Amino acid sequence: MRGSFEVENGPSPGRSPPDPQASPGLVLLPGGPPGQRRESFLYRSDSDYDASPKSMSRNSSIASEAHAEDLIVTPFAQVLASLRSVRSNFSILANVPTPTSSKRSPIGSQPPLCKATLSEETSQQLARETLEELDWCLDQLETLQTHRAVSEMASNKFKRMLNRELTHLSEMSRSGNQVSEYISSTFLDKQHEVEIPAPGPKEREKKRRQPPPMGQISGVKKLPPGSSPGGSSVPRFGVKTDREELLGKELDNLNKWGLNIFRVSEYSNNRSLSCIMYTIFQERELVKTFRIPVETLLTYTLTLEDHYHADVAYHNSLHAADVMQSTHVLLATPALDAVFTDLEILAALFAAAIHDVDHPGVSNQFLINTNSELALMYNDESVLENHHLAVGFKLLQEENCDIFQNLSKRQRQTLRKMVIDMVLATDMSKHMSLLADLKTMVETKKVTSSGVLLLDNYTDRIQVLRNMVHCADLSNPTKPLALYRQWTERIMEEFFRQGDRERERGMEISPMCDKHTASVEKSQVGFIDYIVHPLWETWADLVHPDAQEILETLEENRDWYHSRVPHSPSPPPRPPPPPPPQHRFHFDLTLEEDEEGQEPRAGGAPPPCDPPRAPPPTLRHPPGAAPRETPRGGGGGGRAERTRGGGTRSGSGDPPTL
């Protein structure tokens, strides 16, 4: 099986001849000591989200095993961990020795316990806990829907947890509500329902002049004259530039995280994607392995880059070049050394290069809400992602653009399938499902095996590759701050342009697209806390310890934006209440006199025999009526946060203040 898989996918670099008894694998190493780094909301105590009273024991069920520092949070892995615990406890209670060769023996080198060494009370307690564990497992399995993947259990749980976090965030302030709506509508696969106004005369006239391009792929155009490479000499980095030396110095960092892609664009005459794609294909010897004609590669890269819109602020060829270079670095991470074949590497890099081609600078939901031709063509499902794929593959049919011309038919089919899977995974509404799939896979393998993730089938391999490209697509907050800030300015500019178009059409403005109300700093903190951090945290678990510096940069950038979140405007100060009366009995006497029918003097003046005094504060502000100031970041009060070691940290479990 593996041999045939290798033949179709091409040899993997640095791998010895295929061993029919072996499979490509990834060693899963335990994470660092608890408390070293802030954990994402996925590690909140389950009791904050799960109704099951036994949810806490799910977390502690593996505390006696080798992964004591890792908290298992995906439901299916929790079930497996509990069953392992039940098995271990049974062997103790029944005094049955566990074979050392059993694959289900507890992971680790702890000495086995014997029932004879346990007191009667301890033995009874262990039996009760074992029965409770087994009952909980049965409850989970009885409610499991057989037609759904087990990773959906995690996806539903994570969505529920995120909804809880976003509800709390939206209650904190108006800007918090806008950030919450943006994250919910973008990353939770929720349709943002709006009332679509009737098209105006100009729009109706425009549609009459431009017949719908149904039945053909829109956006494909011919390469402008003079753009195609000519002559016998091939530029060193695939693009013509008079600053080749400066470009070369920047590309010395091609294999490093945090390459300054903005300088690459400057030194390559705004041909960053062509430059990066050509250089990476040469660096990895893909040109030689798959016999790609150099002139064909140059023609395709230039044609592809020309189909990215230069007037789109963020989703342009610069972003595609950045994602491709980031994918290139992630493929080279030591933990994944020699795991993927050359064909899989080619597919991942090609997917990154085309993943946003012909992006119009608006969201899927905008296209759906405006009844665009693309939304009609793709039935509102991953509209842009389907279009990017169609354009990327269609360009291969242009003259001298087929870079895959020397692949076998089977290789082309396999590559196309992988590329489609990876580009569709860049639809941000699929984010939580992707995250749940990866986390379930990693945690399940940690619980059920000796810490080796066997990537010996297409499903597991493509799952890692899809998440890799997704991570690269969401890598801006993990880059050096100077680069991250430039990306933030660009994405907000694109959002605001969409908001302006929605305002002109009389539509409801999408979350974070209103330039008059959006909080840039708070949006980035929320984006990191609820989307980027959980994803990269899971990726770091997969490739530990290779991504630790990336996590550190992410946390530093998050803190930088958090320190610049503008404070919510305070309500206007109320006049201070008057001082309380000196003698309570005097206030009571006044009430009694009023009740006895004494006529009040004009203007409410006190009798001349009494000294003037202010009315008591209880008349101005009855007890409990004065509004109280709510501390910033409050609202969750007193959640116990679960550590990776199974313990708790006292204090609020709410997300950091935005």
Instruction: Write out pLDDT tens, residues 509-524.
Output: 999 999 999 999 999 9
What lies within 8 Å, CB to CB, of 288 at 6+ separation is none
Its pTM surpasses 0.95:
no
**Residues ≥6 apart with Cβ < 8 Å to 256:** 329
Count Cβ atoms within 10 A of the Cβ of residue 373 and give its class: 0-12 exposed, 13-18 middle, 19 or more buried: middle
- Nearest 5°: the CA angle 339, 341, 346 is 125
How much is the average pLDDT of 633-640? 40
- Min mean pLDDT across 36-45, 407-416, 562-571 is at 36-45
State yes or no: pLDDT of 457 exceeds 80: yes
Looking only at the bridges linking them, the beta strands covering 452-454 and 25-27 are antiparallel
Average pLDDT of the residues in 176-187:
78
Q: What residues contact 391, with CB distance under 8 A and at least 6 apart? A: 217, 219, 220, 307, 354, 357, 358
- CA pair distance 627, 476, nearest whole angstrom: 42
Q: Which of the residue ranges 56-70, 88-102, 206-220, 427-441 would you say has the lowest mean pLDDT?
A: 56-70
DSSP at 529 = I
Residue 367 near residue 381 (C-beta atoms within 8 A): no
**Residue burial 282-307, b: 16+ Cβ < 10 Å; e: rest:** bebebbebbebeeebbbbbbbbbbbb
**243 vs 227: CA distance, rounded Å:** 18
Cβ within 8 Å of residue 559, ≥6 positions away: none
Q: What is the DSSP letter of 530?
A: I
pLDDT at 427: 96
**Is residue 123 pLDDT above 50, yes or no?**
yes
* Helical residues (DSSP H) of 456-480, grouped into ranges: 458-473
The 3 state secondary structure assigned to 162-213 is HHHHHHHHHCCCHHHHHHHHHHHHHHCCCCCCCCCCCCCHHHHHHHHHCCCC
Q: Say which residue, 470 or 190, is predicted with more confidence.
A: 470
pLDDT at 194 over 50: no
Instruction: Judge whether residue 27 has pLDDT over 50.
Output: yes
Tell me what the mean pLDDT of segment 475-492 comes to.
98
Closest CA to 486 of 234, 288, 299, 316: 316
Distance separating alpha carbons of residues 264 and 612, to the nearest angstrom: 79
Q: Which residues pair with 648 in a beta bridge?
A: 642
Residue 243 has pLDDT above 80, yes or no: yes
Name the pLDDT band for 351 (thresholds 50, 70, 90). Answer: very high
Q: Among residues 307, 315, 359, 388, which one is catalytic?
A: 315
pLDDT at 592 over 80: no
pLDDT at residue 302 is higher than 80: yes
* Per-residue pLDDT, 126: 81
Q: What was the pLDDT predicted at 142? A: 67
Of 312, 313, 320, 361, nearest in space to 510 by CA: 361
Distance CA 268, CA 262 (A): 10
Give dist(CA 76, CA 82) in Å, integer: 10
Averaged pLDDT for residues 363-381: 95
Contacts for 53 with CB less than 8 Å, ≥ 6 apart: none
**Are 325 and 284 spatial neighbours (Cβ–Cβ below 8 Å)?**
no
Nearest to 29, CA basis, from 658, 563, 546: 546
CA atoms of 640 and 644, how far apart (whole Å)? 13
Average pLDDT value for residue range 583-589: 47
At residue 654, the pLDDT reads 45
- Residue 251 banded pLDDT, cuts 50, 70, 90: very high
Nearest 5°: CA angle at 95, between 92 and 100?
A: 75
Tens of pLDDT, residues 125-172: 888 888 888 777 777 776 666 556 676 777 777 777 777 887 877 777
User: Band of the pLDDT at 279, cuts 50, 70, 90?
Assistant: very high
Please check the confidence at residue 190 and state whether its pLDDT lies above 50.
yes
- 373 within 8 A of 213, measured Cβ to Cβ: yes
| Residue 239: HSE in the Cβ half-sphere, 13 Å Cα cutoff | 27
The pLDDT of residue 55:
41
Confidence of residue 449 (pLDDT cuts 50, 70, 90): low
The radius of gyration of the chain from alpha carbons, rounded to an integer in Å, stands at 31
For this structure, is 328 an active site residue? Answer: no
Average pLDDT over residues 632-636: 40
